[in-house]
């Protein structure tokens, strides 16, 4: 093959790579089937969080919904009392020349500010460093403490110094689904850094064993939660190879297997609880945040590709669990915590995956909105 022909083929390959992002299959527009909002609580869908691209600003996002408004980087809603109810929402993405290249639809549920005011709810939050920071559990508690909300109680053994009154959880920096399933520390030092999973105990044979029933019996006087939130996935999948799709999926498969074990054990221990899987949150939009943390070892675009695939897999596996078409577990749900987190203003400049105070409040609002919707179901 001549050098000229090889050169032409190489140029053609580069051109195709440049066009690949404009194709629907590459953009991979992804929306959950259901999203949630509460009257007077801001809710958003950030464009960068629903597509796989390094440059969302190159595309046009058109939202069709009878409420809300489309802004520069997001679709934004602060619902009014008259908006209560279900609203179809469709987003269409087009490229620079106006050609539509992808479309997806969801259903927006808006609930009243006083939804669930006559109820009480016991909550347990399980997570990694985002939960450990305690900012979004504090925000959830703050929102639930406003008039017109159910009386709330948070279960959990971890109460960091910055936890608001009544706030507790099981959130630990660096933890994974697997760590909650298997971690046993024979010589704990009383800190969160050197401890067993709160759900793992020695059995009669003196072997570590996952036992969520024993957790409730020993930590909450046998009280069972009404809702358990799980916000995990970053530590499980962060080190995957974003350039190897098969390897990336294998890493997610491993995470899913551990998630299934923990969820099954929770279902056995708390058969009437809602198990709410929170979608793993998106990265900081700035590469500088990753450079500050990882010094070139990990990059924003790498984690974005992993996280987007993880979102696709989580939605495929867990969506519909609480709907009319449920075939397995009618009290398992997906909370779209990824949509409402601003990937720019919701993060500090020097951190790739941990939000700032504003971003944590947005996560708290997402949990709150889903929880309020669940109170009227």
* Predicted confidence (pLDDT) at residue 9 exceeds the cutoff of 50: no
Q: What is the pLDDT of residues 56-108, one digit of tens each?
A: 999 999 999 999 999 999 999 999 999 999 999 999 999 989 999 999 999 99
User: CA separation (Å) from 107 to 46, 178, 367?
Assistant: 16, 33, 17
pLDDT of residue 25: 55
The whole-model pTM stands at 0.92
Could you tell me which of 226, 229, 231 has the C-alpha nearest to residue 271? 226
Q: Determine contact, residues 364/136, Cβ cutoff 8 Å.
A: yes
One DSSP character per residue, 128-171 reads SHHHHT-HHHHHHHHHHTSTTS-EEEEE-SB--TTPPTT--BEE
pLDDT of residue 321: 59
pLDDT of residue 192: 87
Question: What's the length of the chain?
Answer: 377
* Predicted confidence (pLDDT) at residue 8 exceeds the cutoff of 60: no
pLDDT of residue 225: 98
Q: Determine contact, residues 96/56, Cβ cutoff 8 Å.
A: no
Residue extents of the structural domains in the chain? 22-111, 120-375
pLDDT of residue 248: 97
Q: Which residues of 227-260 are buried (b: 16+ CB within 10 A; e: fewer)?
A: bbbbbbbbbbbbebebeeeeebeebbebbbebbe
* Predicted confidence (pLDDT) at residue 360 exceeds the cutoff of 80: yes
Q: Determine contact, residues 58/98, Cβ cutoff 8 Å.
A: no
Q: Domain spanning 120-375 has what CATH number?
A: 3.40.50.1110
* Mean of pLDDT values over 119-145: 98
Q: What is the pLDDT of residues 45-54, one digit of tens each?
A: 999 999 999 9
What are 7-13's contacts with CB under 8 Å, separation 24+? none
Q: Which residues of 104-128 are buried (b: 16+ CB within 10 A; e: fewer)?
A: bebebbbbbbbbbeeeebbbbbbbb
Q: For all residues of the chain together, what is the average pLDDT?
A: 92
* Mean of pLDDT values over 232-239: 98
- For residue 303, the tally of other CB atoms under 10 A from its CB is 24
Nearest 5°: the CA angle 94, 96, 98 is 50
The dihedral region occupied by 68, where left means phi > 0, alpha psi between -120 and 50, and beta the remainder, is left
Q: Determine contact, residues 290/303, Cβ cutoff 8 Å.
A: yes
Q: What is the pLDDT of residues 258-308, one digit of tens each?
A: 999 999 999 999 999 999 999 999 999 999 999 999 999 999 999 999 999
**pLDDT above 70 covers what percent of the chain?**
91
Q: Domain spanning 22-111 has what CATH number?
A: 2.60.40.10
Q: At what angle do helices 300-318 and 245-269 cross, to 10 degrees?
A: 50
d(CA 33, CA 327): 17
pLDDT of residue 330: 86
Please determine whether the domains at 22-111 and 120-375 fall in the same fold group of CATH: no
State the greatest distance between any 2 C-alpha atoms of the chain, in Å, as a whole number: 79
27, containing H or E segment: helix 24-27
Q: What is the pLDDT of residues 178-217, one digit of tens each?
A: 999 999 999 999 888 899 999 999 999 999 999 999 999 9
* Predicted confidence (pLDDT) at residue 346 exceeds the cutoff of 60: yes
Q: Determine contact, residues 61/75, Cβ cutoff 8 Å.
A: yes
- Which of the two residues, 41 and 26, has the higher pLDDT score? 41
181, containing H or E segment: helix 177-182
Which residues are 69's β-sheet partners?
Answer: 76
């Amino acid at each position: 093959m001549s050098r000229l022909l090889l050169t032409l083929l190489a140029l053609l390959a580069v051109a195709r790579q440049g066009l690949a992002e404009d194709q629907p299959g590459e953009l991979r527009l992804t929306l959950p089937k259901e999203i949630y909002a509460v009257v007077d609580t801001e809710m958003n869908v950030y464009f960068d969080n629903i597509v796989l691209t390094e440059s969302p600003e190159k595309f046009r996002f058109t939202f069709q919904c009878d409420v809300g408004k489309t802004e520069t980087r997001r679709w934004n809603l602060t619902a009014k009392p008259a908006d209560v109810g279900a609203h179809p929402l469709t987003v269409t993405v087009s490229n620079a020349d106006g050609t539509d290249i992808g479309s997806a639809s969801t259903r927006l549920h808006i609930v009243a500010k006083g939804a669930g005011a006559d109820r009480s709810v016991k909550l347990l939050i399980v997570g990694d460093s985002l939960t450990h920071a305690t900012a979004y559990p504090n925000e959830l508690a703050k929102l639930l403490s406003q008039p017109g909300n159910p009386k709330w109680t948070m279960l959990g053994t971890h109460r960091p110094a910055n936890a608001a009154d009544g706030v507790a959880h099981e959130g630990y920096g660096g933890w994974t689904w697997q760590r909650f399933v298997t971690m046993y520390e024979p010589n704990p030092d009383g800190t969160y850094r050197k401890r067993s999973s709160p759900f793992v105990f020695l059995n009669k044979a003196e072997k570590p064993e996952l036992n969520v029933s024993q957790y409730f019996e020993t930590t909450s006087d046998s009280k069972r939660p009404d809702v358990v939130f799980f916000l995990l996935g970053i530590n499980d999948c962060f080190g995957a190879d974003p350039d190897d799709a098969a390897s990336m999926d294998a890493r997610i498969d491993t995470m899913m297997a551990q998630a299934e074990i923990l969820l099954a054990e929770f279902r056995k221990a708390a058969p009437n609880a809602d198990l709410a899987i929170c979608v793993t949150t998106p990265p900081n939009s700035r590469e500088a945040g990753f450079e500050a943390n990882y010094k070139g070892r990990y990059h924003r675009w790498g984690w974005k590709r992993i996280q987007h695939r993880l979102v696709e897999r989580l939605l495929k596996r867990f969506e519909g669990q609480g709907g009319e078409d449920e075939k397995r577990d009618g009290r398992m749900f997906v909370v779209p915590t990824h949509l409402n987190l601003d990937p720019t203003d919701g993060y500090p400049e020097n951190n790739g995956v941990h939000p700032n105070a504003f971003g944590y409040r947005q996560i708290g609002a997402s949990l709150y909105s889903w929880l309020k919707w669940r109170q009227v179901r």
